[in-house]
Structure 1
Amino acid sequence: MYYLLRTLVTAASFWVALWILPGMDISSDSGTVGTSETIISLLIVSVVFGLVNAIVRPIVSFLSLPITCLTLGLFTIIINAAMLSLTVWITSFLPIHVVIDSFFWTTILAALIISVVSAIVNRLIGAVTE
């Protein structure tokens, strides 16, 4: 149940990032993306993002620990953006996928938006369930 709730929160944070950033979009191989396809694709992308964060992120965080300490934790933003880029690359092989333009700051801003929205919603959900 907890994983399903986290997946829904991540999907909602992806939706907020899609809504705010003009360089981030959902595209389809067939051309048009309807509302149901958008919801399903956001859920699939959030599952892939959760798997990337569970498998790859700990390794990358451990290997970049000296840089993270040197920058007083600011390198974590770059790690978040790298995990988002990896998620976008993995989902590019699916029929419906998230597209981020080539501008690097769009990825950074998307990672920040996803992190902040997820943290706020998780905090609200935690306060309600306690």
Structure 2
Amino acid sequence: MIRFITQAVLTAIALWITAAIVPGITVIPFAGEPPMNSMLTYLLAAAVIALVNALFGTVLRFISIPLYIVTLGLWSFVLNGLLLWTASLISSAWGWGLTIDHFWWSAVFGAIVLGFANWLVELVARAVGIGTHD
């Protein structure tokens, strides 16, 4: 359970970095006290991203193995953008959460930045001793 919470916090930080870098990706906080509502919104948006990846990502990656082969792996950028786009549709349906303006320029580029930011945040966390791996 601690590992899941740590991973969710690290993904929320990576999502915050992504929203700061990529134009067209924003996180709309829900009502509440200003610092707390933003942090909780990022955590919930990270949970939605994890849920979408767990439910749809594995199946879509398996089904699209021929596209990975034909495009020499470039299909992964489009698929990750599609999964991020889906997570934004789910979370923004409640009136708060992750919103993405355009698929190609925001979702696909945002998925690339989110993957890199997540890798960087986890690298720093492991260096500090907050690692998420056993």
TM-score for both structures, normalised by structure 2: 0.85
Q: Report the AA paired with residue 63 of structure 1.
A: I
**Sequence identity, in percent?**
23
Residues 42 and 66 (structure 1), Cα distance of their counterparts in 2 relative to 1, 3 Å cut:
same
Report the CA distance between 1:35 and its aligned residue: 2.8
Structure-to-structure mapping, 1:70-89, within 5 angstroms = 70-89=70-89
Question: In structure 2, what is the Cα distance between the partners aligned to 1:83 and 1:33?
Answer: 30
Structure-to-structure mapping, 1:2-81, within 5 angstroms = 2-27=3-28, 34-81=34-81
Report the CA distance between 1:103 and its aligned residue: 5.2
Report the CA distance between 1:79 and its aligned residue: 1.0
Report the CA distance between 1:40 and its aligned residue: 0.8
Structure 1 runs not aligned, ≥5 long: none
Calculate the aligned-residue CA RMSD, in Å.
Answer: 2.2
Query: Does the Cα contact within 8 Å between 1:41 and 1:97 map onto a contact in 2?
Result: yes
Report the CA distance between 1:33 and its aligned residue: 8.8
Cα offsets for 1:99-128 (capped at 9, x unmatched): 111352111111011100111222333453
Query: Does the Cα contact within 8 Å between 1:26 and 1:33 map onto a contact in 2?
Result: no
Query: Does the Cα contact within 8 Å between 2:30 and 2:37 map onto a contact in 1?
Result: no
Corresponding pairs, count: 129
The SS at the match of 1:89 is helix
Question: In structure 1, what is the Cα distance between the partners aligned to 2:28 and 2:45?
Answer: 12
The SS at the match of 1:58 is helix
Question: In structure 2, what is the Cα distance between the partners aligned to 1:59 and 1:65?
Answer: 10
State the 4+ residue runs in structure 1 displaced beyond 4 angstroms. none
Report the CA distance between 1:27 and its aligned residue: 2.5
Q: Mean Cα displacement is larger for which, 56-65 or 90-99?
A: 90-99
Question: In structure 2, what is the Cα distance between the partners aligned to 1:33 and 1:75?
Answer: 41
Query: Does the Cα contact within 8 Å between 2:13 and 2:121 map onto a contact in 1?
Result: no
Question: In structure 2, what is the Cα distance between the partners aligned to 1:75 and 1:88?
Answer: 20
| 2:118 is the counterpart of 1:118 | yes
Question: In structure 1, what is the Cα distance between the partners aligned to 2:105 and 2:22?
Answer: 11
Structure 2 runs not aligned, ≥5 long: none
Tell me which residue corresponds to 1:104.
104
Question: In structure 2, what is the Cα distance between the partners aligned to 1:65 and 1:17?
Answer: 27
Q: Report the AA paired with residue 17 of structure 1.
A: T
